Amino acid sequence: MELNYNSLSSISSLLQNPFEDPSLQTSLNRTTYYRSFDSIENLKIKAHLVKIADINHRNIFRNIRDVSNNVTDGLPYKEVTIDETNKENDNNLNKSFSSLKLEKSKSKSNISMATSPLPSAYEVVIGWQEKIFSPTEVFKYADVGTYPTTIERKHHIQLENILSDSKSIEAQLIRKNKIESSRNIIKKRQLFTYVDADNHIDQDMLYPLIENMTNEEPVTKLAKRKLTIRDKKRHTSTNYEDEADRLIFPGVHNEQPGFYSSFREMHIMGYFERGEKDKEEKMYEILARKKASLRKKRENKLDKDDNNEEDEETQDLLMSLEDNNILTNVEEAEVNYVEKRLCTIRAYENGWISMTPAYNQKYRFTIGDYDVYEFSLENCSSQLTSQEEHKEWDLFETVDKKRLEIRNYIVGKDFQEIPEMLGFRLMIFGEIVSARKFDESSIYIQYSLELPKYWKTNDTHSPKQMLFGNTQFTDFIYDPPTDDYEARFAFPFEFDLLSAHYDPYIKWPVLYFHVCTKDKWCRNVTLGYGFYNIPWMPGHYDETINTWRAYPSISERMGQYFVGKTLTLEDITYINFPKGFNKKYLNKYGFQTETSGSIRIRLNIAHQIGSFHLINPNKNDNGFLKNNNLKEILDALLRARKRVDFLRQQQQNKKDN
């Protein structure tokens, strides 16, 4: 006797992991993200749906083998019966079959089981935003009433186009005009789609994490509405007020950009027959709803006028509701069939595509009590050939080149030149950052720049430069990382200076700082002096400058205390080399100072050298030294001078005569 390894396992374990096949999943809610540079319109998905078990065929194991169709070696499969307690495993027969079929199958081999009455696999290729109508929708959109909405009208026109082909499933359905009698036709339309315009919001996509009882609404109406708005930022109702809502963006406070950016979506849906029990429940539900609405109408009418003539009609209608022939086709469909979301595809603006669930995997789910389906997706969008890819890359390259050309055109080639030829330009972008350790509560800083010999400001390009300035008057704050108090200025200064040429051996500009405070009576008090030599290398500098101030004698201190006298240097350059200093050594002995706080400055220094014409061969309009034959120029000058002299002499002679 042959026994399969899973002959004893229960149905649940079979469902979960029949062949330990990792590609088999049961959750349809797992989202996978893809990214594509291609237009989403090129997406094509092949959906594959097959019924693998129903009330008559509960043997999942066999059916899986049948479906996969890979085993063709003709070996008799072991049949596993599930609900039969007395297993007669020795014969290769399926006990779950009806007795009639059992007799037949006894005489046949197991391979004939493959041609069992389970419906064959259903396969359809779906393009992006391709609308396939479900039987319910066929009835719904075939007659849309007098005032259809935009979507209804659109679908109606589309449906009429399809109906013009009399062989189509839709046309057949309409011809039968009854859900019950057209069961065989419906079997051919097991998959349909909701496109973006349908605004379909599926419940199991909305709150997949909320557990609920089967006979209970998963969330309250309010919560549902809230979730719906958040998910799509538009809702499905067709009331007039809600239509207005759709035009006006809801005032969401924290709009999340990026991930929640607008997307377009489509749903691939399954259309399945309900179990008998479900059908009954649904029927009662719909009848109850109908009754309630009728009763409401009746009450309204009673309120308005006491005409009881029409009232009788409605009562008749209510009576006829008791036997259930009153259902319309759409309601009939709702009772007998259930729609199940099988796949949701979303295309985001940034090129993301999300699929819930992913393709190339098998998913299994149960409808009703016995019907088990297997569903899989396949990406059958046309793939790029290597030739096409090559072409595309070429196109990208040309586009890129063009873009660069345009960029180069915008950027151009001209650049601001230095006024004096062969000059040197020094740009300083600086900042007084902060000050520390000054024993006053608030301070301000004066800065000034000394321009030594051979330096001048660049007035042509940056006029009105401030070589002297004051910062704001600011207080100190405790800075925890350094455990100290700090006054912060963030005060900018910019200098644009010129010199004959780059020479580190001449004297470079010097920055002087004078730290002051204002006392209660708004008198300025000097707190410190400091200086900084502008470095002769370009770069980024972050420097701390220590300061000192003159040490006052006792009488000066008294003056400071009573009348606000303060010791100020007459010439601020005394801090550095005093102005006009040209002796052998600098003597500051005899001058008493005390240490004061420190200033932090930040400098960015850039150099521009004017002789770049000579360095850069690309430049054609070389204004300087165009005819660089100096001798020629000198000769011409001499000739001109001679001629002037000659003319003068002539004039003199004339006067003398």
Partner 1 sequence: MAEVHIIGQLTGASGFPSANLSCKWSIVAGEEWTLLEGSIKGHTQVDLPVDARFSVWSHPIDVHYSTKSIKGWPKIQFQIFHQDRFGRNELYGYGFIHVPTTPGMHELECMTWKPLSSNSNKLWEFFLGASSQLRDTDVIHNGADRFRLVTATMGKVHLELGIILRNFSNYGISMS
Residues sharing a CB contact under 8 Å with residue 169, sequence separation 6 or more, in sequence order: 185, 188, 189
The 10 Å Cβ neighbour count of residue 52 is: 20
* Residue 597 engages partner 1 in binding (rule: CB under 8 A): no
User: Between 3 and 606, whose beta carbon lies closer to partner 1?
Assistant: 606
CB of 412 to partner 1, least distance (A): 5
CB of 615 to partner 1, least distance (A): 7
Q: Which residue has the tokens 């295309």?
A: 347
Q: Which residue has the tokens 């019966």?
A: 81
User: Between 68 and 472, whose beta carbon lies closer to partner 1?
Assistant: 472
Pair of tokens at residue 425? 């330009």
Pair of tokens at residue 538? 């370009």
Stretch that binds partner 1, among 37-45, 122-130, 304-312, 538-546 (CB under 8 A): 538-546
* Residue 652 engages partner 1 in binding (rule: CB under 8 A): no
**Number of residues binding to partner 1, judged by CB under 8 A:** 56
Stretch that binds partner 1, among 74-82, 104-112, 344-352, 536-544 (CB under 8 A): 536-544
CB of 359 to partner 1, least distance (A): 34
The 10 Å Cβ neighbour count of residue 432 is: 22
Stretch that binds partner 1, among 144-152, 467-475, 561-569, 586-594 (CB under 8 A): 467-475
Task: Please tell me the distance from the alpha carbon of residue 250 to that of residue 631, in angstroms, as a whole number.
Answer: 82
* Residue 301 engages partner 1 in binding (rule: CB under 8 A): no
User: Between 86 and 416, whose beta carbon lies closer to partner 1?
Assistant: 416
* Residue 401 engages partner 1 in binding (rule: CB under 8 A): no
* Residue 477 engages partner 1 in binding (rule: CB under 8 A): yes
Pair of tokens at residue 337? 């069939």
Binding mask 353-392 for partner 1 (x = CB under 8 A): ----------------------------------------
CB of 510 to partner 1, least distance (A): 19
Pair of tokens at residue 209? 């994490």
CB of 275 to partner 1, least distance (A): 51
Report which of 603, 612, 604, 614 is spatially closest to residue 424, judged by C-alpha positions: 612
Report which of 547, 515, 511 is spatially closest to residue 442, judged by C-alpha positions: 515
Report which of 346, 363, 334 is spatially closest to residue 271, judged by C-alpha positions: 334
User: Between 50 and 545, whose beta carbon lies closer to partner 1?
Assistant: 545
CB of 227 to partner 1, least distance (A): 25
Stretch that binds partner 1, among 96-104, 141-149, 581-589, 601-609 (CB under 8 A): 601-609
Task: Please tell me the distance from the alpha carbon of residue 29 to that of residue 460, in angstroms, as a whole number.
Answer: 70
* Residue 493 engages partner 1 in binding (rule: CB under 8 A): yes
User: Between 23 and 622, whose beta carbon lies closer to partner 1?
Assistant: 622
Task: Please tell me the distance from the alpha carbon of residue 46 to that of residue 345, in angstroms, as a whole number.
Answer: 13
- According to CB under 8 A, which one of 157, 326, 395, 466 is a site residue for partner 1? 466
H/E segment holding residue 439: none
- According to CB under 8 A, which one of 430, 509, 528, 530 is a site residue for partner 1? 430
Kindly provide the b/e burial profile for residues 13-44, where b requires at least 16 CB atoms within 10 angstroms of the residue's own CB: ebbeebeeeeebbeebeeeeeeeeeeebeebe
User: Between 579 and 607, whose beta carbon lies closer to partner 1?
Assistant: 607
The three-state (H, E, C) secondary structure of 213-266, written as one string: CCCCCCCCHHHHHHHHHHHHCCCCCCCHHHHHHHHCCCCCCCCCCHHHCCEEEE
CB of 415 to partner 1, least distance (A): 4
User: Between 104 and 607, whose beta carbon lies closer to partner 1?
Assistant: 607
Report which of 64, 78, 113, 80 is spatially closest to residue 9, judged by C-alpha positions: 80
Strand partners, 542: 602
* Residue 640 engages partner 1 in binding (rule: CB under 8 A): no
* Residue 473 engages partner 1 in binding (rule: CB under 8 A): yes
H/E segment holding residue 13: helix 11-16
Pair of tokens at residue 375? 């569903």
* Residue 598 engages partner 1 in binding (rule: CB under 8 A): no
* Residue 495 engages partner 1 in binding (rule: CB under 8 A): no
User: Between 9 and 611, whose beta carbon lies closer to partner 1?
Assistant: 611
* Residue 472 engages partner 1 in binding (rule: CB under 8 A): yes
Stretch that binds partner 1, among 225-233, 289-297, 380-388, 428-436 (CB under 8 A): 428-436
User: Between 128 and 447, whose beta carbon lies closer to partner 1?
Assistant: 447
- According to CB under 8 A, which one of 1, 244, 319, 410 is a site residue for partner 1? 410
Stretch that binds partner 1, among 161-169, 189-197, 479-487, 566-574 (CB under 8 A): 479-487
- According to CB under 8 A, which one of 35, 221, 304, 407 is a site residue for partner 1? 407
Contact criterion met (CB below 8 Å) for 515 and 600: no
Task: Please tell me the distance from the alpha carbon of residue 595 to that of residue 547, in angstroms, as a whole number.
Answer: 6
Task: Please tell me the distance from the alpha carbon of residue 242 to that of residue 250, in angstroms, as a whole number.
Answer: 11
Stretch that binds partner 1, among 258-266, 318-326, 348-356, 475-483 (CB under 8 A): 475-483
Task: Please tell me the distance from the alpha carbon of residue 89 to that of residue 1, in angstroms, as a whole number.
Answer: 9
Report which of 604, 618, 602, 606 is spatially closest to residue 418, judged by C-alpha positions: 606
* Residue 429 engages partner 1 in binding (rule: CB under 8 A): yes
- According to CB under 8 A, which one of 84, 243, 255, 475 is a site residue for partner 1? 475
Residues of this chain, 604-623, that bind partner 1 according to CB under 8 A: 604-612, 615-616, 618
Task: Please tell me the distance from the alpha carbon of residue 106 to that of residue 616, in angstroms, as a whole number.
Answer: 98
CA distances from 482 to 248, 436, 486, 522, 572 (A): 53, 11, 10, 31, 31
* Residue 460 engages partner 1 in binding (rule: CB under 8 A): no
* Residue 486 engages partner 1 in binding (rule: CB under 8 A): yes
CB of 28 to partner 1, least distance (A): 35
* Residue 535 engages partner 1 in binding (rule: CB under 8 A): no
Residues sharing a CB contact under 8 Å with residue 267, sequence separation 6 or more, in sequence order: 193, 194, 200, 202, 341, 342, 343, 344, 345
Stretch that binds partner 1, among 27-35, 120-128, 464-472, 588-596 (CB under 8 A): 464-472
User: Between 147 and 409, whose beta carbon lies closer to partner 1?
Assistant: 409
Binding site for partner 1 (CB under 8 A): 407, 410-416, 425, 427, 429-431, 433-434, 442, 444, 461-462, 466, 469-477, 479-480, 486-493, 496, 538-540, 602, 604-612, 615-616, 618
